[in-house]
């Protein structure tokens, strides 16, 4: 069974599962709705059942059994060593949930848990945009901002596995309060709500503007994706909203460049789909602010593995973690 794992990515609305090869290739995949309101034990049962069906459905290469290596990526503060979800924005009622143990008991196999952005960075560093570069710093821009640091393809975990909370790096010491307890965190400016707020600060919000028409006049329909389309239509306020968020992203990247001297930044997540609307202002600010850049700043590249990077990374994590613990 060497070289095969099940990767699982618990998102805000969907749980994605797949068989992952050491090469990063996905052999089979499926999705279930995230049971957001269910108890941890019920979530564990649902995930285990989906993983079991995956193996029974179309086992690749004639392998009949579920692989012994199982990895789960989940948003939030994840104690990787203990396999515990301390808190998660996707499962807001959870506190100190031993998810690895719960799913492991259902499947009769050890389960390796990690932060979903960490899983993304692991996959991108080993097989995606960061392949061949070290260290690689990765960020996922979505509802929140996640991140991770990989050196020689391995994640830098820190003492308890919490390293890489890049979204909660403060870039404005007296900025707005963040639910994490800090103020002026990067994700308040670069995440979904930050970009929408930057737009509403600048836009007249009246019929005739692209964003207004695309949203059908409903502010709640505003999203980075909609604003990116409005920016492509030529709406100035939408372009400026991405530029403002991009500059804040650049401030964060300059801090990271000074701290870590990375060879490459990889940017993924839904908001990264806006491409140069947000990445060009970020690159410019990074060049202006990073100490050692001399005009040659660290390259900032979009992620290469698409929406399944987290799933693949969870599988890769299980493959590297499982070797010492599982004999097959
Ligand atoms: Zn924060």
pLDDT band, residue 328 (cuts 50/70/90): very low
How many angstroms separate the alpha carbon of residue 53 from the centre of ligand 1?
A: 38
How large is the average pLDDT for residues 31-59?
85
How many angstroms separate the alpha carbon of residue 260 from the centre of ligand 1?
A: 20
How many angstroms separate the alpha carbon of residue 286 from the centre of ligand 1?
A: 21
How many angstroms separate the alpha carbon of residue 57 from the centre of ligand 1?
A: 42
How many angstroms separate the alpha carbon of residue 327 from the centre of ligand 1?
A: 41
Per-residue model confidence as pLDDT tens digits over 69-115: 999 999 999 998 899 999 998 888 999 999 999 999 999 999 999 99
d(CA 47, CA 85): 15
Instruction: With H, G, I as helix, E, B as strand and everything else as coil, classify residue 261.
Output: coil
d(CA 164, CA 114): 12
How many angstroms separate the alpha carbon of residue 188 from the centre of ligand 1?
A: 8
Task: Report whether 62 contacts 27 (CB < 8 A).
Answer: no
d(CA 273, CA 253): 18
- pTM value is 0.90
How many angstroms separate the alpha carbon of residue 26 from the centre of ligand 1?
A: 34
How many angstroms separate the alpha carbon of residue 185 from the centre of ligand 1?
A: 5
**DSSP 3-state helix, strand, coil percentages of the chain (rounded to 5)?**
40, 20, 35
Which of 28-32, 58-62, 66-70, 299-303 has the least mean pLDDT? Answer: 58-62
Structure tokens at 241: 């909203």
Q: Please tell me the predicted confidence (pLDDT) of residue 55.
A: 66
Instruction: Answer yes or no: is pLDDT of 325 > 50.
Output: no
Structure tokens at 308: 């399944």
d(CA 284, CA 250): 7
How many angstroms separate the alpha carbon of residue 145 from the centre of ligand 1?
A: 10
Task: Report whether 50 contacts 35 (CB < 8 A).
Answer: no
d(CA 223, CA 320): 37
pLDDT band, residue 54 (cuts 50/70/90): confident
How many angstroms separate the alpha carbon of residue 76 from the centre of ligand 1?
A: 12
How many angstroms separate the alpha carbon of residue 181 from the centre of ligand 1?
A: 6
d(CA 60, CA 327): 21
Mean pLDDT, the chain, whole residue set:
91
How many angstroms separate the alpha carbon of residue 224 from the centre of ligand 1?
A: 20
Instruction: Sort strands 264-268 and 136-141 into parallel, antiparallel or unpaired.
Output: parallel
How many angstroms separate the alpha carbon of residue 313 from the centre of ligand 1?
A: 24
How many angstroms separate the alpha carbon of residue 295 from the centre of ligand 1?
A: 30
Per-residue model confidence as pLDDT tens digits over 232-291: 999 999 999 999 999 999 999 999 999 999 999 999 999 999 999 999 999 999 999 998
How many angstroms separate the alpha carbon of residue 276 from the centre of ligand 1?
A: 25
How many angstroms separate the alpha carbon of residue 218 from the centre of ligand 1?
A: 28
How many angstroms separate the alpha carbon of residue 147 from the centre of ligand 1?
A: 13
């Amino acid at each position: 069974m060497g070289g095969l794992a099940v990767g699982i990515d618990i998102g805000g609305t969907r749980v994605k599962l797949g068989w992952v090869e050491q090469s990063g290739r996905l052999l089979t995949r499926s999705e279930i709705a995230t049971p957001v309101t269910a108890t941890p034990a019920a979530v564990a049962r649902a995930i285990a059942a989906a993983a079991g069906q995956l193996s029974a459905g179309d086992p690749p290469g004639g392998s009949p059994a579920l692989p012994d290596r199982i990895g789960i990526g989940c948003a939030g503060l994840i104690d990787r060593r203990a396999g515990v979800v301390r808190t998660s924005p996707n499962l807001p009622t959870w506190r100190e949930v031993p998810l690895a143990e719960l799913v492991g008991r259902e499947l009769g196999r050890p389960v390796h848990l990690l932060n979903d952005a960490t899983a993304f960075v692991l996959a991108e560093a080993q097989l995606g945009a960061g392949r061949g570069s070290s260290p690689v710093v990765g960020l996922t821009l979505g509802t929140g901002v996640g991140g991770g640091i990989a050196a020689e393809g391995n994640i830098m975990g820190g003492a308890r596995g919490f390293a890489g909370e890049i979204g909660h790096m403060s870039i404005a010491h007296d900025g707005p309060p963040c639910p994490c307890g800090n103020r002026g965190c990067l994700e308040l400016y670069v995440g979904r709500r930050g970009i929408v707020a930057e737009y509403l600060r600048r836009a007249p919000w009246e019929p005739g503007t692209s964003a207004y028409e695309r949203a059908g006049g409903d502010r709640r329909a505003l999203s980075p994706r909609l604003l990116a389309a409005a920016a492509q239509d030529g709406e100035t306020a939408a372009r400026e909203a991405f530029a403002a968020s991009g500059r804040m992203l650049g401030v964060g990247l300059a801090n990271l460049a000074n701290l870590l001297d990375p060879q490459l930044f990889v940017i993924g997540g839904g908001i990264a789909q806006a491409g140069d609307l947000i990445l060009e202002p970020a690159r410019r600010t990074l060049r202006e602010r990073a100490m050692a850049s001399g005009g040659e700043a660290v390259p900032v590249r979009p992620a290469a593995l698409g929406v399944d990077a987290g799933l693949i990374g969870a599988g890769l994590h299980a493959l590297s973690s499982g070797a010492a613990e599982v004999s097959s």
